Amino acid sequence: MAEGAEIRSYSGSVRRWWWLSLTAFFLMGAAWAVALPANGTYDEKDHITRAYAVATGQLIPHHTIVNRRGDVVPGFLAPASLLPSAATVDCTWSPRPPKPASCQRWTDSRTRIVTQSAAARYSPVYYLPAGLPLVLVPDLTGIVLARLVSVALSALLLACAVGAALRLGGRLFPVAIMLSGTPLVMNLSGSVNPNGLEIAAGVLVFSSLLALVRAPDGRLDDRAVRRLLVSACAGSVLLLTLRELGPVLLALDVGACALLARRGRLAALWRRRDARWALGACWVAGLAFAAGWMEFSGFTDIAPNVRDAIHLPLSGELDQIATYRIPFYLRQVVGEFSYGETLVSSYMIIGWYLLVAAIVVPCVRYAGRRHAAVLAALGVVCLALLVVLELRFLPSIGWFSQGRYALPALVGVMLGAASTDGFERRLAARARLRWYPAALVAGATVLQVYALCRVLTRFESGIAAPLNPFPGTWHPSLGPVPPLLALLAGSALLAAVVTVAPGRCPATEPPTAATDLGTVPATSV
């Protein structure tokens, strides 16, 4: 009974820190949501139109339009006020040189016109909730509200991931979740784009499954196991249904977690009837929906693009991928904004990877060869996935892959490393277990603020303007100060979660040979 009371007390603590994490991630994403102009990040204009269309019942396109490049593309009926005029919706980045967002021109007309969307056949799962504010207020205000819906969804998943991390114990796992939310990920979650929610779903799947297969027995009762199963199922369903690569990414996530499981834990999970039914049902249902949607929407019918197609011998393709595309992947997952033309300092990119290395390298060093091999293989497979996609589509539509496409699985390298406790034991033995993760959070906060300031400066004053987020010919609707304050407040709350939330005591708590799940009965509270 004493052990059950201790677990229930810990569960209450986890819930309190869940709410704090939810607020923190919402503030960080909201900072980007209110800071960006319309169409301020990758393909946002296409996703905005798609979201409005889904929310108004236009699931597949029945119209076409000639875009600015002369291509015939699918479109939907949407109010003219939904986006800046067709002549200025892309003016911040095309034609060159890039311009401040003051170049955009808006109309108050609610007349419905055919509006293009390159996302016309994407799954409607994300677009329905994001599109509801656009139906009510089809203008810039509606876009900001749609972004905030997207932020809330991503923050919910990331907060659940932190809750799973606290079940697993340790202080580096929550830091790893924070570092998974790179400036680009926060930018995507604060825009109308399903990729941000997809990445958050990948983080949740990894965190929940790792907690189930690696958490000490004393941290899990039946209720905790059920909640982790719900989290794993929710993340899995979203990962399967949001974007077309989801089934592949989920397979990588599940396979890596299975290989990282403690001895006996997979068998214990299999013995639970609720685990078999919950995970099996959500995976089957998600796969069925993904397959059904692709068939219904005709998504696989990708028309060749002669103008952008590139024809090279295999050796030339591989050379271009190694020298040009892979460096692009590595830059983008941290901080390459707008449509790729808004770059941050290379020192910022290097700084973020150093923070990641400060978790991955020492944790893997003390984790054992099997653990290191699984994480290395996961990273290689994620890179190989991007390369295979490039080789598949290069002769028909040109360069295809982007580093952010692999993030729902690639985050597992850092999360898997942080799930071990060998390095934390050494930090605890030297009385450094609090300041080490706190220093990582402080470094990440500085880089997050710098990235937001750089993007604000770019849209306010131009691509080549010196760093200063306050002057300029364009300003966010709330001005530049509220986004910066929101980002700082969210980062401060996450710092509190990392440094104050209860963790295991690695200096005194021996590793457990986890052999069962939920052995302590849960009591109603």
The predicted-structure confidence for 370-391, as pLDDT tens digits, reads as follows: 999 999 999 999 999 999 999 9
Looking at the DSSP bridge assignments, the partners of residue 59 are none
Looking at the DSSP bridge assignments, the partners of residue 72 are 66
Q: Which range (172-176, 388-392, 506-510) has the least confidence?
A: 506-510
What would the 3-class secondary structure string for 146-159 be? HHHHHHHHHHHHHH
Which amino acid makes up residue 90? D
Q: What is the mean pLDDT of the chain?
A: 90
**Over 80: is that where the pLDDT of 53 sits?**
yes
- Look at residues 423, 520, 4, 418 and name the one whose alpha carbon lies nearest to residue 211: 418
The pLDDT of 74-98, averaged and rounded, is 94
Neighbours of 105 (CB within 10 A): 11
Given this model, what pLDDT does residue 67 score?
79
**Over 70: is that where the pLDDT of 509 sits?**
no
What Rg, from alpha-carbon coordinates, does the chain have?
Answer: 23
Given this model, what pLDDT does residue 287 score?
95
Residue given tokens 């949407």 in the structure block? 78
Q: Which range (100-114, 291-305, 340-354) has the least confidence?
A: 291-305
Question: Model confidence at 521, in pLDDT bands (50, 70, 90)?
Answer: very low
